[in-house]
Amino acid sequence: MAERALSLTAAGLAAAVILLLLTPLGALGLSLRGFSLSGAELAALRFTLWQAALSAGISVILAVPVARALARRRFFGRGALIATLGAPFILPGIVAVLGLLSVFGRAGWVNALWGALGFSPFSIYGLSGVVLAHVFFNMPLAVRMILHGWQAIPAERFRLAASLGFSPSAIRRHIEGPMLREVLPGAALVIFVICLTSFVVALTLGGGPRATTIELAIYQALRFDFNLPTAARLALLQFGLCAIAYVVATRISLPSGFGVGADRQGGPPAPTGWHRIADVLAITFAAMFLALPLLAVVLNGLPGMLALPSQVWAAALRSILIALGSTGLSVAVGLVLAMAAARGRGWPALAATLPLAASSLVLGTGLFLILQPYFRPASLALPVTFIINATLSLPFAFRILAPEACSLYVDYNRLSASLGLTGWGRLRWVVLPRLARPLGFAAGLVAALSMGDLGVIALFAGEGEATLPLLVQRLMGAYRMEVAASAALLLVSLSFALFWAFDHWGRRYAAS
C-alpha cells in the first residue's frame, strides 16, 4: 500500500515537473517542423558543448584527489573547509566573476606577483577563463558529492581490506574504484548540464563573441529580436542535450552495492609516505583556489558595508522567506523522487535532472504568457519565484539524496519490511535518521541557491518587491559598485549561513 502511494506520488510529481518545464515552450510557440540551426547557432552549440565538457571533466578529475584526501585525513579546520566547499557554488555569477578577477584578472593578485617576479602579465579571457570560473564554481560541488561517496563506504570494508593486507592500489581497485564508477558519472553530468546553460560567466570571461553560448542566443532571441519560437527551439535543444548526457552518464555508471555496515566510525586508511604529501598538496591547492577569490569577495564588499541602504533588510527578509519555502518544497519532492528511483526506476532521475538544462528566462517568459491574461504579473512575483527556484534546484536535492536513498533501500528494505515498518513509521525511524547527512547538505544547497536566483523575478517583479539579488543589480545599475559589492557580500553571507545551518544540522543529526 505504502509502496503504491510512493510510486503514485512520485509519478505525479515527475509529471508536474516535466509539465512545468515544457508547457512554457508551447506557450512561446514552439514548432518542431523544419528544426534546423543557423550557422551562428551551430557555432554557439559547438562552443557550449566544448566548454561544458572541459569544465565538467576538469572539475571531476581535480575533485577526486581532494575528496580522497579529505576522506582519509583529519586535521584542524577540516570541518570548516568542507563547509566552505559549498560557498563558491552559491555566489551570484557577477560577484564570483569580480572575485575571480581580483585574483586572476589583468590587475589581479596573481598577475601582480607574476609581474614582480619579472614575467609579462597573462590574460585569462577566453576558453581558459570560462573553464577556470566553471571549475571554481563546480569543483567544490564535485568534491562534496564524491566525499559523500567515500563516507558511504561501510568502515567494515576498509577493515576487511586491512586484515587481508590490501595495498593502497588494491584498495583503489576493489573498493574505491567501484564507488567512483558509481558517483563520478552523476557528478560530471550535473556539472556538464550546469555549464550548458552558462551565460553571464561564459560571456564575461569568454573575451568576445567567440564565447557565445546557446543561452546567450536565447537571451538575444527573447529580448532583442522578440523571436519567441526561436527561443523555444533553442531551449528544447538544451533539454535534448541534457537528456542525451543523462543517458550517457547512466550507461557509464554502475551501482557499487557494498551492502550494509554497522555504522562504525572510521574512514578509509590513511597511508603515509608520498601519499601523505600528495594529500597535503591536494588539500592546500584546493583551499587556496577556493579561498582566494572568496577572500576577494569579502574584501571588495567590506568598504561599503556601512553605506548599505535600509531597503536591503526588507529585501534580505524576502529572499530568506523565498529560500526557505523553496527548500521545503524542493527537498520534499527530491526525497520522494529519490526514493522512487531507489526502486530501480529511471524516470524519476530524468525528471529530476531536466530542470538543470532549463533556461530560467524561457521558463519565466513562458509562464508570464500563460499567467498574464489572468493575473497581474507583479502580484505573482513571489509565488512564481518560489516555485521556479524549487524546481531549478530540484536536481541538486535529488542528486545528493539519490545515491544514499538507493543504498538505504538495498540495505534496509528487507529489514524494514520484516519489522512491518511502512509509511510514516519508516520515514521517521529509517529514512530520516539515515539520510540526515545528505538531507542537510541538500537543504543547505537548495536554500543557498534559492537566495541567489534572480532569473525569473526580474520578469515579474513590480515596485517595491525586490529580492536581495535584484537589489544588487539595481545598485550596480545606479553606479553604486562599492555598495553593490557590500550587498552582494551580505547576500553571500546569508546564503552561506543558511547553507551552513542546514548542513551542520544534517551532520550533527547523523552523528548522534
Partner 1 sequence: MKYLTLAALAVFAPAAHAETPVLNVLTYDSFTSEWGPGPAIETAFEAICGCDLVFSAVGDGAELLARLQLEGARSDASVVLGLDSNMTARASATGLFAPHGQEGANDLPVTFDDPIFLPYDWGYFAFVHDSKLPDPPKSFEELAASDLKIVIQDPRSSTPGLGLLLWVKSAYGARAPEIWAGLADNIVTVTPGWSEAYGMFTAGEADMVLSYTTSPAYHLIAEGDNSKSAALFEEGHYMQVEVAGKLAAAPEPGLADQFLTFMGTETFQSIIPTTNWMYPAHMPAAGLPDGFDQMITPQKALLMTADEAHAARTQALDEWLSALSR
* Residues that bind partner 1 in the complex, under the rule CB under 8 A: 40, 43, 94, 97-98, 101-102, 105-107, 123, 125, 199-200, 203-210, 216, 219-220, 222-224, 226, 300, 309, 311, 314, 317-318, 321, 324-325, 328, 365, 368-369, 372-373, 376-379, 382, 458-459, 461-463, 465, 470, 473-481, 484
377/433 with CB nearer partner 1: 377
Q: Which residues contact 84 (CB under 8 A, 6 or more apart)?
A: 140, 290, 291, 294
135/231 with CB nearer partner 1: 231
Minimum CB separation of residue 369 from partner 1 in Å reads 6
Minimum CB separation of residue 447 from partner 1 in Å reads 13
Q: Quote the cell numbers at residue 3.
A: 509502496
DSSP state letters, 182-248? HHHHHHHHHHHHHHHT--HHHHHHH-SGGG--HHHHHHHHHHTS--HHHHHHHHHHHHHHHHHHHHH
115/309 with CB nearer partner 1: 309
Residue pair 54/251 in contact by the 8 Å Cβ criterion: no
Minimum CB separation of residue 497 from partner 1 in Å reads 18
Minimum CB separation of residue 463 from partner 1 in Å reads 5
The vertex-231 CA angle with 230 and 233, nearest 5°, equals: 60
240/462 with CB nearer partner 1: 462
Please name which of 324, 347, 323, 325 lies closest in space to residue 336, comparing C-alpha atoms.
Answer: 347
Minimum CB separation of residue 444 from partner 1 in Å reads 17
209/229 with CB nearer partner 1: 209
200/497 with CB nearer partner 1: 200
Please name which of 9, 2, 3, 1 lies closest in space to residue 334, comparing C-alpha atoms.
Answer: 9
Minimum CB separation of residue 378 from partner 1 in Å reads 6
Minimum CB separation of residue 333 from partner 1 in Å reads 13
40/162 with CB nearer partner 1: 40
Measured CA to CA, the distance from residue 392 to residue 457 in angstroms comes to 13
**What is the sign of the dihedral through the CA atoms of 70, 71, 75 and 77?**
positive
Backbone torsions φ then ψ of 25, nearest 5 degrees: -65, -40
Measured CA to CA, the distance from residue 301 to residue 251 in angstroms comes to 45
Measured CA to CA, the distance from residue 365 to residue 380 in angstroms comes to 13
Rg (CA), the chain: 23
Minimum CB separation of residue 130 from partner 1 in Å reads 11
Q: Quote the cell numbers at residue 214.
A: 546557446
34/477 with CB nearer partner 1: 477
